[in-house]
Amino acid sequence: MLFLNPLLLWGLLAAAIPIAIHLINKRRHKTIQWAAMQFLLKATRESRGKKKLRHILILTCRALAVAALAFAAARPVVSGLIGWGGGSIDTVVLLLDRSASMETKPGDGLAPRRQIVIEKVRDAMKTLGATRLVLIDSASGKPQEIPSPDVLAEIAATAPTDSAADLPALLARAAEFLAETTGRSEVWLASDLQTSNWHPEDERWAAARASLAALPQKPAVRVLSLTGPSAPNTAIRILGSRRSGDEMLFDLEILRAADTRGTTTLPLTTNLNGTRTTENLTLPGQSLRFQKRVTLPGGSETGSGWLSIPADGNSRDNSTFFAYGPARPVKSVVVAPAGEAADYLALAAAPPGFGNQATQRVDPATAASLATGDLAAILWAAPLPTGPAQETVSRFLTSGGHVIFLPPVTSSDDSFLDLKWSNPTEAPAGKFFILKDWNHSDGPLRDASDGTPIPAERLKAVRRQIPLGDATALARWEGGEPFIARRILEQGTAWFLGSLPDYTWSNLGDADVLLPTVQRVIAAGADRFDASFLTTVGSETAQPLAGETRARLDDYGTQNPANAAYESGIYRLGERLLAVNRPAQEDNPEILSREQLDQALDGTRYTLLDQAGQADDPSLSRDVWRAFLIAVLFFLISEAILCLPKKSHPQALPAKAAA
């Protein structure tokens, strides 16, 4: 409870006046013993206890009436957000989560959570009178003083965005701002508690809490939680896109709410350079991953567009954008000595009929001079690179390239990225090394987009070398040894395969495993060329460089220049064409648990106000002085009733007297 006029609480001292008057009046009467009075005292002794109780009740009602009047004059405010405390609040710092997930509507589907919290904060601030309001939003991260709560919903800093939020950074920014602010302050943190935006395990929480604790006057922390049931929602996003000749290939994912059941049909609209087409998709469950091909107009060098689904519980995740540039061949290099293994690798890298793919074999001795600027992948079947060759391959990986390393045939102590090969081993006579386990959802042996698995169980080897070191195993032999291991280096990926496509080693050359593995790795390496057209909101690549200006090209969504840096869409930044999409983490529905919230805000003694599903109640606080005036009236009426004289009843005469 907060009092807007706390000085008037001194009026509570007036509640002692009726008690003082009572005590003074008792001292005015002196008791004198009178013999005849003893008979009257004896007659009234039985009713003395009831009279004393009534006098105490009358005195209590008078004192409570005065106290309630003092409370009413101090204008108390009751709120779950504005906690108990004496004195007025000088400054409220509002940390507003403007992430894309905050545009999800509650179960009533009327207004997004961001709009609901703005209305609640606006109404709460009105009850606080002249309290200063400072906004720090998750998109810009900059403090902004709000002149009046009435304009809170109208300014650009509270508008919807497609960005993510960084809550530990917001709390640290609030502590930094309050270090230069005097008076009593509070931090109001409004969020839907999406785990991916809170980063509960992040070490920055400890630093932010320490900064708050170090302030001369520690602020109260109020968390306004906007969780609870949501309106039905479906999201679409591009997992990857690349140009292949006169086609765009999209890896798409459609996600539905976790409580969604059954099969549904959904229209998918494709907008390509202003031309729209619509098709129906069947969603068998909560998620669907699939590949879509879009034919480009003849002679199209560059272009852009988006894919969208109908509006629902969150309008910010119903579209995903793309852009493309001139077609370019997909090149790869096989670094291996001449032989059967090199031939099979070259065939898998550029199969007949794949006109846009090309490869060549390079002798390991000349690998250091490789020109890797236009390569998608390197297939390395030789001893691990050392010296200048190692530097060339490392630069290729850090720039986004992919490299497949295969056994060098002989024993070697050479290492790369702290990984090396074991000595070659042979299977017992008449037996094979069998591939038993592999990842069906990640890596080059993942299932196809339609769910068809790769027949990796057909792989049999008589010789193998095991990749040793810290890497992620995505496929294993029967004994648990890794067959495919992955090591990520900045933007690129190194892959290690534990056998050779040589029939003195294995049947890897049969293409059941080798072809999909090589083609998927090459496609991932080629994505780095198309990735220059694709980025996410808030990333460095989405920001204009020196001398560049931002121009929005699509007609989808809003056209607010102040929020252009925080919205998805098609943009031209100088000579660059960019498709900007919301971060993938915004499609993660996981909500922060109370234990995780306690961990993040440990020591702040925060107050949690859960507004889940309360879109019909736009207030965060209530001015309750009227209730105290009603209490004054109640106590005065009660005192008046207790003061009424007791109704007398005529005593019955004795029987003889009546006769």
Tokens of 620: 């965060």
Predicted local distance difference test score (pLDDT) of residue 84: 38
Q: Cβ distance 642 to 58 under 8 Å?
A: yes
DSSP string, 306-370: EEE----S-GGGSEEEEEE-----EEEEEES-SSHHHHHHHHHHS-TT-TTEEEEEE-GGGGGG-
Cα gap 410→423, rounded to integer Å: 7
Closest C-alpha to 354, from 244, 508, 454, 251: 244
pLDDT band at 99 (very low <50, low <70, confident <90, very high): very high
CATH of the domain at 450: 3.40.50.880
Among 350-359, 435-444, 536-545, the range scoring the smallest mean pLDDT is 350-359
- Burial class, 436, CB count within 10 angstroms (exposed 0-12 / middle 13-18 / buried 19+): middle
Instruction: Determine the Cα–Cα distance for residues 389 and 346; give it in Å rounded to an integer.
Output: 21
What range defines the domain where residue 305 resides? 234-327+537-587
**631 assigned to some structural domain:** no
Beta bridge partners of 330: 357
Residues 66 and 120 in one domain: no
Decide if 647 is inside a domain: no
Going by the DSSP 8-state scheme, the letter that residue 296 receives in this structure is: P
State how far Cα 77 lies from the chain centre: 32
Taking only the tens place, the pLDDT of each residue in 399-428 is: 889 999 999 999 888 999 999 999 999 999
Q: Are residue 432 and residue 368 in the same domain, yes or no?
A: yes
Residue 609 lies in a domain: yes
Considering the domain boundaries, does residue 347 fall inside one? yes
Summarize pLDDT for 421-467 with one digit per residue, the tens: 999 999 999 899 999 899 998 999 998 877 789 999 999 999 999 99
Output the pLDDT for position 408: 93
d(CA 524, CA 531): 10
Q: How many Cβ atoms sit within 10 Å of the Cβ of residue 130?
A: 8
Distance CA 499, CA 522 (A): 19
Residue with tokens 């006029």: 5
Q: For 129-148, write each residue's pLDDT tens digit.
A: 789 999 999 999 999 999 99
Question: Which pairs count as long-range contacts for 524-527, CB under 8 Å and 24+ apart, including other chains?
Answer: 524/377, 524/402, 524/493, 525/332, 525/375, 525/376, 525/377, 525/400, 525/401, 525/402, 525/492, 526/242, 526/330, 526/376, 526/377, 527/240, 527/241, 527/242, 527/400
In a domain, 606, yes or no: yes
Tally of domains in the chain: 4
In a domain, 130, yes or no: yes
User: Are 126 and 545 within 8 A, CB to CB?
Assistant: no
* Residue partners of 606: CB distance under 8 A and separation at least 6: 221, 222, 223
Domain termination site, one of 33, 50, 74: 74
Measured in Å, how far apart are the chain's first and last C-alpha atoms?
71
Per-residue pLDDT at 37:
60
Within 10 Å of residue 366's Cβ, how many Cβ atoms? 10
Q: Are residues 315 and 334 in the same domain?
A: no
| Domain final position from 74, 101, 118 | 74
Query: 500 and 373: one domain?
Result: yes
pLDDT tens-digit profile of 228-246? 788 889 999 998 888 888 8
**Which of the listed ranges 1-5, 73-77, 128-132, 331-335 does the model predict with the highest average pLDDT?**
331-335
Which of 74, 105, 130 is where one domain is finished?
Answer: 74
516 shares its domain with 387: yes
Q: Is residue 635 part of a domain?
A: no
Residue 42: the pLDDT is 57
User: At 581, which CATH number?
Assistant: 2.60.40.10
This prediction's pTM? 0.71
- 43 pLDDT band, cuts 50/70/90, is low
CATH number at residue 220: 3.40.50.410
Same domain, 602 and 582: no
Residues 274 and 209 in one domain: no
pLDDT at 57: 80
Per the document, the length of the chain is 659
How far is Cα 269 from Cα 259, in angstroms, rounded to an integer?
25
Could you tell me the pLDDT band of residue 385, with boundaries at 50, 70 and 90? very high
Distances (CA, A) of 412 to 382, 409, 496: 10, 9, 15
| pLDDT (tens digit per residue) in 243-288 | 888 889 898 999 987 767 778 899 999 999 989 999 999 988 888 8
E strand segments, 193-233: 220-225
Query: Do residues 417 and 463 share a domain?
Result: yes
Share of the chain above pLDDT 90, in %: 53
Q: Are 400 and 374 in contact (CB under 8 A)?
A: no
111 in the same domain as 141 = yes
Query: Are residues 478 and 568 both part of a single domain?
Result: no
- Looking at the fold, whether 401 and 368 belong to one and the same domain comes out as yes
Identify whether 365 is part of a domain: yes
Same domain, 516 and 368: yes
